[in-house]
Amino acid sequence: TPLYFLGITHTHHAPTPQLSYHTPTVIITMFSQATRSIASTAARRAAVRSTTRAASSVSARVVAAPLANKLSALALLAATTTAAIVKNNQDNYVVSCDKLPVEGVAGTNQERTFLAVKPDGVQRGLIGDIIARFEKRGYKLVGLKMVWPTEEMAGNHYKDLAKKPFYPGLCKFFSSGPIICMCWEGKDIIAQGRQMLGETQPLASKPGSIRGDYSIDLGRNICHGSDSPESAAHELNMWFPEGVNDWKKTVDAWVYE
| pTM flag (> 0.75) | no
**Identity of residue 77:** L
Q: Give tens-digit pLDDT for 119-143.
A: 999 999 999 999 999 999 999 999 9
Q: Give tens-digit pLDDT for 8-19.
A: 444 444 444 444
Give the pLDDT of residue 244: 97
Backbone angles phi and psi of 168, in degrees to 5? -60, -45
Backbone angles phi and psi of 144, in degrees to 5? -155, 130
Judge whether residue 24 has pLDDT over 50. Answer: no
Half-sphere exposure of 142 (CA within 13 A, CB side): 28
- Going by C-alpha positions, the residue among 123, 100, 122, 103 that lies closest to residue 114 is 103
Give the pLDDT of residue 192: 98
CATH 3.30.70.141 for domain 112-254: yes
* Binding annotation: 118, 166, 194, 200, 211, 221
> Domain boundaries in the chain?
18-88, 112-254
- CB atoms under 10 Å from CB of 227, counted, come to 16
Judge whether residue 162 has pLDDT over 50. Answer: yes
Q: Give tens-digit pLDDT for 244-257.
A: 999 999 999 999 99
* Binding annotation for ATP: 118, 166, 194, 200, 211, 221
What amino acid positions are annotated as catalytic residues?
224
